[in-house]
Amino acid sequence: MKAIVHVDGGARGNPGPAAAAAVVTSPGGELLAERAQLLGKVTNNVAEYRALLLGLEAARELGVSDVEVVGDSELIAKQVQGIYKVKHEAMRPLHRAALQALAGFERWSIRTVPRAQNAHADALVNAALDQARAASSG
């Protein structure tokens, strides 16, 4: 089974309150799963990696064997593809975990799109952060 996994992570401030989100769809666009997770205070890049891991976990639980990851972080995509080195020490365990998770699929690919083409995952991140802010100020 093939699925498209849209991932997005974001932090308000860098580091700051952060969330990760993933939307899993069939190649035809049918919604299979969506997840969002608050992360506490982390950087944007950590949030992006956590979104990738969240999306891969959801895809694995659905029995997906061929995953196409779509996100708006060029850094994460190029690090996972081996084009960019992972220079920041704190990112290395997340990078390793992502490669291990991807190895569990028969086929995988990762590509970047402009944020506007990743709107569903981006909206989940912002909704989670808005909800957390409202809960902490209320």
For 28, half-sphere exposure in the C-beta direction (CA atoms, 13 angstrom radius) is 2
CATH code of domain 2-133: 3.30.420.10
Q: Which of 60, 47, 51, 44 is nearest to 6 (CA)?
A: 51
**What's the pLDDT score for residue 137?**
81
Q: Where are the domains of the chain?
A: 2-133
Model confidence, pTM: 0.96
Task: Per-residue pLDDT tens, the chain, 138 aa: give them.
Answer: 999 999 999 999 999 999 999 999 999 999 999 999 999 999 999 999 999 999 999 999 999 999 999 999 999 999 999 999 999 998 999 999 999 999 999 999 999 999 999 999 999 999 999 998 888 886
Q: How far apart are CA 110 and CA 41, in angstroms?
A: 26
